[in-house]
Amino acid sequence: MHIPDNYLSPSTCAVMGAAMIPVWVMAVKKVKENVPKERIPLLGVGAAFSFLLMMFNVPIPGGTTAHAVGAALLAILLGPWPACISVTIALLIQALLFGDGGILAFGANCFNMAFVAPFVGYFIYKFIKERVKSGKGEYIGIIAGSYIGINMAALCAAIEFGIQPLLFKNAAGLPLYSPYPLSVSVPAMMVSHLAIAGVVEVIFTVAIYAFIKRVSPGMIYEGAKQKIKPIYAAIVALIILSPLGLLAAGTAWGEWGADEIKNVISGGKSLGFIPEGMKNGFNFNALFPDYAIKGVPDIVGYILSALAGAAILIIIFKIVSALKKGKPAKIQA
């Protein structure tokens, strides 16, 4: 669910980042107010935990991976605002220290995994726990909270991916960033998260929570009793159900025949790019559009090639000599 760079337009990234800023500000404020100083290092523990959990991932079509996040677990154990900070930091370390990508997309990733996942998970957990008065209520809440939490986050990611080809096209009508529309991104993300990542998340959350409850119950966060009116429950239910409608719309798109595609072009809909490419065929312009090569003098091209050649030679030389140094040692051993 971790969105890499260059799949979202910079404007999308900027919008998501801007959306996160008030969330972070609020989180810092809440943590400073409510978390006793002794528990602050726990945020680091949570972040480390989430980071390690996210390391175990499975690639899925669409350009990203499916993995557990532990956001709901952290929200249940530490509280939603501390969980937000912990997951944010885990993502920050992933982006900067491990360079897999996700620097520009940081805002979007945080929105999905550090905001949607923990808060949705926490409130569903609380809601069910307070209504189902038995030992089971707690666990049902945890299962529902963690499962729905991570899947909502995956859905948000899928939407962020899917609207790219809709909104960001170049002059030829080709998508500039992620080329897969909602009809592809939503099913790809949702199926892998509903079926695999979500299940893993639930299993881990429940198991770890149970263990901690048994061994050291004092550490679990006791949030204030939330008075959630039924209307909010209805709104939440609607929000959860609406993606199903989107899914249905998506599959509807996939069923359109070739004739209908032509009509779709003028509406600027997501499927517009396919016929364009097919129309022009294997034209050089279609292959490498927008190079703006025309205005660039030849000498620039020569200089660039020379630099590239030199750089590549040096790199190869360095690598080969490093590998050679390694070899004699191997033979001896």
Partner 1 sequence: MTEKDIPQWLLENENYIPKSDKDTFINKSILSLLSLLSHIQRQSRHKTDLFGINAAFSVIFTILFIILLSVSRSMVFVITANIYLLLVLCLLKAEDIITILKTSFGVAVFTFIILLPTALYGNFYSITMITPKVFASVTAVNILSRSTRWNSITGALKTFFIPDIFILVLDITIMYITMLGEFSLNMLYALKLRSVGRNKNKRNSLSGIAGTMFIKSKEMAEETYAAMECRGFTGDYRIYRKFKFSFADAIYIIVNAVIIFCFIYFGGYLRK
d(CA 98, CA 44): 18
CB of 61 to partner 1, least distance (A): 7
Rounded to a whole number of angstroms, the minimum distance from the CB of residue 50 to partner 1 is 9
Q: What are phi and psi of 59, to 5 degrees?
A: -70, 145
Choose between 85 and 156: whose C-beta lies nearer to partner 1: 85
3-state secondary structure the chain: CCCCCCCCCHHHHHHHHHHHHHHHHHHHHHHHHHCCHHHHHHHHHHHHHHHHHHCCEEEECCCEEEECCCHHHHHHHHCHHHHHHHHHHHHHHHHHHHCCCCCCCHHHHHHHHHHHHHHHHHHHHHHHHHHCCCHHHHHHHHHHHHHHHHHHHHHHHHHHHHCHHHHCECCCCCECCCCCCHHHHHHHHHHHHHHHHHHHHHHHHHHHHHHHHHHCHHHCCCCCCCCCCHHHHHHHHHHHHHHHHHHHHHHHHHCCCHHHHHHHHHCCCHHHHHHHHHHHCCCHHHHCCCCCCCCCCHHHHHHHHHHHHHHHHHHHHHHHHHHHHHHHHHHHC
Query: What is the nearest approach in angstroms of partner 1 to the Cβ of residue 297?
Result: 11
Minimum CB separation of residue 100 from partner 1 in Å reads 7
When the beta carbons of 53 and 152 are compared against partner 1, the nearer one is 53
Q: How far is the CB of 276 from partner 1 (least distance, A)?
A: 8
Nearer to partner 1, 152 or 165 (CB): 165
The smaller minimum CB distance to partner 1, of residues 4 and 121, is found at 4
Residue 50 vs 151, nearer CB to partner 1: 50
| Minimum distance of partner 1 from residue 201's CB (angstroms) | 12
CB-nearer residue toward partner 1: 115 or 127: 115
Least gap, CB of 131 to partner 1 (angstroms): 27
Q: How far is the CB of 254 from partner 1 (least distance, A)?
A: 13
CA distance 73 to 206: 8
CB nearer to partner 1: give 22 or 99: 99
* Closer residue to partner 1, CB minimum distance, 88 or 151: 88
